[in-house]
Amino acid sequence: MPKCDACGNDYDKAFQVIAGGKTYTFDSFECAISTLAPTCAHCKVRIVGHGLEKSGTMYCCNHCAEQEGVTELRDRS
C-alpha cells in the first residue's frame, strides 16, 4: 500500500498531489494541508483558501495583514 509522506500511514485509498514539480503521497487531506498549505505570517493558521499575499508573505485574511501593517494586498484568487 502507498505510504503517507506526512504521517507514514499505509492506506489503500492514499492519493498523490504534484506541487512544485514534486509528487507527494497522502492518506488524508489533513496530512496534505499540514505539508503543503502556507502558514499565515500573523496568526500561523494554515491557509486552505486563497489567502492574501504581499512581497511573498502570506496572510489568511485582511485582518491579519493589517495587524502586520500591510495595506496593499495581492489576492491569490
How confident is the prediction along the chain (77 residues), in pLDDT tens digits per residue? Answer: 789 999 999 999 999 999 999 999 999 999 999 999 999 999 999 999 989 999 999 999 988 999 999 988 765 55
Domain that holds residue 27: 1-36
| Residues 31 and 59 grouped into a single domain | no
How many distinct structural domains can be found in the chain? 2
Own/partner pairs, 51-54, CB within 8 angstroms, 24+ separation? 51/76, 52/76
Cell numbers describing residue 13? 485509498
pLDDT of amino acid 72: 80
Closest CA to 65 of 43, 47, 37, 49: 43
| Residues 45 and 77 grouped into a single domain | yes
| Residues 41 and 25 grouped into a single domain | no
